[in-house]
Amino acid sequence: MRGFPFVVLDGKTAIVTGGAAGIGEAIARRFARAGARVLVADLDADGASRVAAEIGGLSFAVDVADETQVIALFAACDAAFDGLDVQVNNAGIVPQKGAIDTVDEALWDRVMGVNVRGVMLCTKHAVPRLRKRGGGSIVNMSSRLGVHGAAGFSLYCATKFAVRGMTESAALELGVDGIRVNSLCPGTVATPSARMRMAERARLAGRDVEAMIREDYAERAALRRIIEPEEVAEAALFLASDQAAATTGTHLVVDAGRPAG
């Protein structure tokens, strides 16, 4: 897709967590095309390195649920760049669909750790750097399932509702410093990992995966399709840019117009 050539990040530095694949990779690539210097952070060191090499950025291997590793990530940013302007908290885990009475406690802790604690830790350590810069933007990745609950997604919904609450509170706290905090709430996005999850659901249900995607996802959306990672990246670019200078504490839904349910 062509994107918006008038939205630029020239001279700005951005950290994108979960940047090795999917939505995070699309955001890292879009920010780089918009002129940003991008630090691609991901648990997948090889994937992060690949993306960074292709966009002319830097990479860092990190588990965002571990504060020691998060501190090292921001130290690496300090060493490589002269500041931080944009923090994208995209790293996350999407567990397989399952009823709440079947949730494994260890899985609960891990998903909460990455999806919620990770956002908190990266925000915590981004804020002093953004404040030193005189302001900046934090973009948190929530989800359509952070707006509406869905059967079988209690764990995931809990994390994404938490991200929305954290976003609103942080926006109120940090506005005085010129730091904007917003969240993105994507619907079904055609990432490789999402297609793998849908293929597994189709297999378990004895259905054709393409028919399932069409009937259960695309045809339920107003635009009659699922969305591409690059479309979420365009929304992230807007929130990160000066074009969104008056936008904070909001949640931008990118879901092709799919109603609740």
- Decide if 156 is catalytic: yes
Tell me: the pLDDT tens digits for 119-159?
999 999 999 999 999 999 999 999 999 999 999 999 999 99
Report residue 121 as tokens.
């830790």
Q: Which amino acid is at 150?
A: A
Q: What digits encode the pLDDT tens for the residues 60-69?
A: 999 999 999 9
Terminal alpha carbon distance of the chain: 29
**Per-residue model confidence (pLDDT) at position 1:** 54
Split at pLDDT 50, 70, 90, the class of 180 is: very high
What does the pLDDT read at residue 256? 86
Span 211-234, average pLDDT:
89
DSSP calls for 188-201: SB--HHHHHHHHHH
pTM: 0.93
pLDDT, average across residues 161-172:
99
Residue 118 has pLDDT above 80, yes or no: yes
Q: Which tokens in the block code for residue 124?
A: 């915590």
Q: What is the model's pLDDT at position 39?
A: 99
Amino acid at 39: L
| Burial grade of 242 (CB within 10 A; 0-12, 13-18, 19 or more) | exposed
Residues ≥6 apart with Cβ < 8 Å to 128: none
**Which residue's structure tokens are 């293929």?**
199
Per-residue pLDDT tens for 9-54? 999 999 999 999 999 999 999 999 999 999 999 999 999 999 999 9
What beta strand segments (E) does 50-128 contain?
A: 58-61, 86-89
Q: How confident is the model at residue 5 (pLDDT cuts 50, 70, 90)?
A: low
Q: Which of 60, 74, 153, 156 is catalytic?
A: 156
Q: What are phi and psi of 119, to 5 degrees?
A: -65, -45
Q: Which residues are CB-contacts of 214 (< 8 A; sequence separation ≥ 6)?
A: none
**3-state SS assignment for residue 140:** strand
User: Do 74 and 49 meet the contact criterion of CB atoms below 8 Å apart?
Assistant: no
Question: Is the pLDDT score of 261 beyond 60?
Answer: no
Q: How far apart are CA 79 and CA 45, in angstroms?
A: 19
Q: Which residue has the higher pLDDT, 112 or 219?
A: 112
d(CA 182, CA 188): 20
* Predicted confidence band of residue 116 (pLDDT cuts 50, 70, 90): very high
Between 164 and 224, the more confident residue is 164
Residue with tokens 């949730």: 103
Q: Give the domains, in start order, of the chain with CATH numbers.
A: 13-187+228-253 (3.40.50.720), 190-226 (no CATH)
